[in-house]
Structure 1
Amino acid sequence: MDIPSWKDPKLGTMKRAALWLVQEVGVGGLFTKEQLRDAFQGTSQIDRRMRDLRDFGWRIDTNREDPALEAHEHRFTTEGEPVWQEGKGSRPGNTVSAAQRRELLARDGHKCRSCGISPGEQYPGTYVASQLDIARRPVLLPSGAVEVQNVIECTRCRVGGRNLTADLADVLARIDRLPLLERKMLAGWVAQDARVFSEAEGIWAAYRSLPADSRDQVRGALS
C-alpha cells in the first residue's frame, strides 16, 4: 500500500513525524533533535508529538535506553502502528488532561511505581536525570478480563515495560497463600506504600551488582 508523504500539510504532526521516520530515517537509522526540528521548522512541540508515537508501538531509543548512542542521538528502532491510516493513531477517551496528570502524580507519590525514582533524580551511576510520565499498563483481572490502567513511571521503566501485562489475579492469589505473619507484614508495607530495607538487604543489593572479582572479595570478607 502506498503511504502519504511526510510533507503533506493535511496530516497531523504525529502522523507526519511517523512518516518522516519511515521515509527519511529508516528502521535502525540514527537522527538528532536538530535534524527533526530542521525538518519540521515552524511546527510547535514536534519533540512531544514524536514521543507520542511510543504509545502506538513505535520505539525510538536515546542514550537512556542504548548507552552506545551519544547524548544528542536517537535511533529509530521499531516501526509501530501505521498511525497515518484511517482509524489509526487515536485512542478516544484515553486522553489525560493536565489536571488528571497532576492527580495521577499525587496518587502515585510523585515517584516511578516500578523503580521508585523521583522526577529529576539521577539514575545511580549515571548523570541522567529521570522524567516521570504516564504509562498505560494492561492489567489481568481476577475475572480473566484485561483492563488498561494508568500508572506513573519514569521514561526508562515505561519504555522497558511497554509490552508487559500486570497480573493482578496472580498477586491476589499469592496473598491468599501467605502465612498470617507475612500477610500482616505485607499489609504494613502496603499501608505505608513503602518498605524500609535492612542494612544487610542494602548490602545484598549492592553485592549483586558487583563484577565477579569484586564479589569474590566480598565472599572473602564474610568467610
Structure 2
Amino acid sequence: MTDAGMSWRNESLGARVRVALWLRDEVGEGGVFSKASIREAVKGTEQVDRRMRDLRPADWSILTYRDKPSLQPDQLYLEKIGLPIWEPEYRAAGLRQISAKTRRYVYERDGHMCRRCGVAAGEEYADEPGTRARLTLGHVRPHQSGSGANSEDLITECARCNETVKHLTGVQMTKEQVWDRIKELPGRGKRDLLVWMKADCRPLSAAEKAWGMYRQLPAAVREELEGDLETLMRR
C-alpha cells in the first residue's frame, strides 16, 4: 500500500498508524484538536490516547494546555509531525518493547510500589478517596526520544504519576514553595532528602518493601497475614 493510498479510515491498519494518519490528514502541523475527536475518528480501538502518546518518541510534538496556555483543558496542539510511522521502515520508530521478564524484575526491584509517590498496587490515594493505584512502568527519562527498555531505564510508577510525568504536569508548585517545605524538615530529614536527590530515587525501607509485596496478595490472604501479624505482635 502506498503512502498516498493510506487512510486513517482503514481499520486494517494499526491504531498507532491510524492515529498518525488522522493527525497528518485531518489536523496538520499547527492544528488544534481534542481527545474526544480522535476517539470518535479511530473508533473501536482501545487506549487511543496511549497510541497517540506513543508518537512522541518518534519525534512527534503534541502539546497540552499545560505546555501551551492558550489551549483549553480538553484541547491538544500538533506542533510537529515527526517520523512517518505509516512507512514500513519507520513502523517501529520510537516503540520500546519491554519483555515480560524485565517487567517482572522491575516491579520486584521496586517493591511493587510507585517510586515517584510511594503508593502500592491497589492502595487508595490519600487525596483521592475511592481511587486505587494501578502500577505500570515508566521511563527514568520519559522525554528522551528512544529511551531504552532495559531495567536500568525503567521505573515502577502508578498510572497517575506516569501520566503526569509524560506531560510534565506535576503538582503546580513553585521552587519557593518546595524550598519552604524542605526548610521545615528536621536535620535527619534534610540529609535523607539530599541523598534521595543525588540518587534521583528514594530507597525503600524493609517495611515498605514488605508492604509492596503484601499488596500483591489476594484480599483473603492479606486478611490472614494481618491476623498473623497481630498475633505475633501480642506475644
TM-score calculated relative to the size of structure 2: 0.49
> 2:47 maps to which residue?
45
Matched letter for residue 154 of structure 2 = V
Closer, same or farther in 2 for the Cα pair 1:93/1:42, shift >3 Å?
A: closer
Q: Does 1:27 align with 2:32?
A: no
RMSD: 4.3
Closer, same or farther in 2 for the Cα pair 1:155/1:118, shift >3 Å?
A: farther
Closer, same or farther in 2 for the Cα pair 1:69/1:88, shift >3 Å?
A: same
Identity of aligned residues (%): 33
Q: Which moved more, 1:5-14 or 1:59-68?
A: 59-68
Alpha-carbon distance in 2 for matches of 1:28, 1:8:
25
Task: Kindly state the Cα deviation for residue 100 of structure 1 after the two structures are TM-superposed.
Answer: 4.2
* 2:54–2:95 CA contact under 8 A, matched in 1: no
* 1:64–1:156 CA contact under 8 A, matched in 2: no
> 1:55 maps to which residue?
57
Alpha-carbon distance in 1 for matches of 2:21, 2:95:
25
Mapping of residues 74-89 of structure 1, within 5 Å: 74-89=76-91
Task: Kindly state the Cα deviation for residue 88 of structure 1 after the two structures are TM-superposed.
Answer: 1.3
Q: Does 1:193 align with 2:203?
A: yes
Alpha-carbon distance in 1 for matches of 2:92, 2:79:
22
Closer, same or farther in 2 for the Cα pair 1:89/1:136, shift >3 Å?
A: farther
Q: Which moved more, 1:4-13 or 1:102-111?
A: 102-111
Closer, same or farther in 2 for the Cα pair 1:98/1:39, shift >3 Å?
A: farther
Q: Does 1:151 align with 2:134?
A: no
Task: Kindly state the Cα deviation for residue 86 of structure 1 after the two structures are TM-superposed.
Answer: 1.1
Gap regions ≥5 residues in structure 1: 123-130, 139-146, 161-184, 195-223
Gap regions ≥5 residues in structure 2: 127-134, 169-193, 205-235
* 2:32–2:75 CA contact under 8 A, matched in 1: yes
Deviations 1:77-119 (A, max 9, x none): 221111000121216994125674464355457456xxx4557
> 1:72 maps to which residue?
74
* 3-state SS of paired residue (2:55): helix
Alpha-carbon distance in 2 for matches of 1:19, 1:25:
9
Mapping of residues 97-112 of structure 1, within 5 Å: 100-101=102-103, 103-105=105-107, 107-108=109-110, 110-111=113-114
Length, aligned pairs only = 154
Closer, same or farther in 2 for the Cα pair 1:43/1:155, shift >3 Å?
A: closer
Mapping of residues 194-213 of structure 1, within 5 Å: none
Q: Does 1:134 align with 2:138?
A: yes
Alpha-carbon distance in 1 for matches of 2:28, 2:68:
18
Deviations 1:172-222 (A, max 9, x none): xxxxxxxxxxxxx969x759639xxxxxxxxxxxxxxxxxxxxxxxxxxxx
* 1:135–1:158 CA contact under 8 A, matched in 2: no
Alpha-carbon distance in 2 for matches of 1:92, 1:22:
18
* 3-state SS of paired residue (2:54): helix
Alpha-carbon distance in 1 for matches of 2:31, 2:25:
11
Highest RCO, 1 vs 2 (Cα 8 Å, sep ≥ 6): 2
Matched letter for residue 74 of structure 1 = L
> 1:206 maps to which residue?
none
* 3-state SS of paired residue (2:90): coil
* 1:108–1:151 CA contact under 8 A, matched in 2: no
Closer, same or farther in 2 for the Cα pair 1:186/1:155, shift >3 Å?
A: same
TM-score calculated relative to the size of structure 1: 0.51
Alpha-carbon distance in 2 for matches of 1:70, 1:51:
19
